[in-house]
Amino acid sequence: MFYYISFLRPPPTQAALSGEPILITPQIANDLRTEYYTDAQDIFYSWSLHSATPSPVTTKPVKLTSWRASTMYKEIPVPPPRNVRNGEYWRLILSSGTSRKDQVLSLNDESLGRQPFPVLSDPIFFSARPNKAVKQERIQRSYALTANNRDNPVIFNIIEQTSFDLDKKIWDSGIGLSSWLIQLHSGMVANTTLVSKVKNTLFASKCNVLELGAGTGMVAIVLGILQGLDIPVTAGKIITTDLPSALPLLQSNISSNQSLYHPGNAPKGVVLDWDELDISTQVASFVNGIDVIVMADVTYNTASFPALIGTLSRLIMFSMSGTQAKPPLIILGYKERDVAERTLWEMAEKIGIRFEEVAQIPGAEGPPVEVWVGTVLVNTQ
Kindly report, residue by residue over 205-239, the tens digit of the pLDDT. Answer: 788 999 999 999 999 999 999 988 875 555 689 99
Buried b (16+ CB within 10 A) or exposed e, 276-309: eeebeebbeeebebbbbbbbbbbbbeeebbeebb
Q: How far separated are the first and last CA of the chain, in Å rounded?
A: 36
Alpha helices per DSSP H over the chain: 172-186, 193-202, 218-230, 247-256, 280-283, 305-320, 343-350
**Res 234: pLDDT:** 57
**Res 204: pLDDT:** 80
Buried b (16+ CB within 10 A) or exposed e, 116-135: bbbbbbbbbbbeeebeeeee
What's the rounded Cα separation, in Å, for the pair 168 and 213?
A: 11
**Res 232: pLDDT:** 56
> 3-state DSSP helix/strand/coil percent for the chain, to nearest 5?
25, 30, 45
**Res 322: pLDDT:** 60
pLDDT under 70: residue ranges of the chain = 52-55, 148-150, 166, 231-235, 280-282, 285, 322-324, 378-381
Q: Which of 45, 78, 41, 76 is nearest to 60 (CA)?
A: 45
Sort strands 138-145 and 105-106 into parallel, antiparallel or unpaired: parallel
Kindly report, residue by residue over 317-341, the tens digit of the pLDDT. Answer: 888 876 667 899 999 999 999 999 9
pTM of the model: 0.94
Q: Which of 297, 316, 300, 241 is nearest to 274 (CA)?
A: 241
**Res 168: pLDDT:** 83
Q: What single DSSP character describes residue 137?
A: -
What's the rounded Cα separation, in Å, for the pair 157 and 120?
A: 10
What's the rounded Cα separation, in Å, for the pair 233 and 92?
A: 38
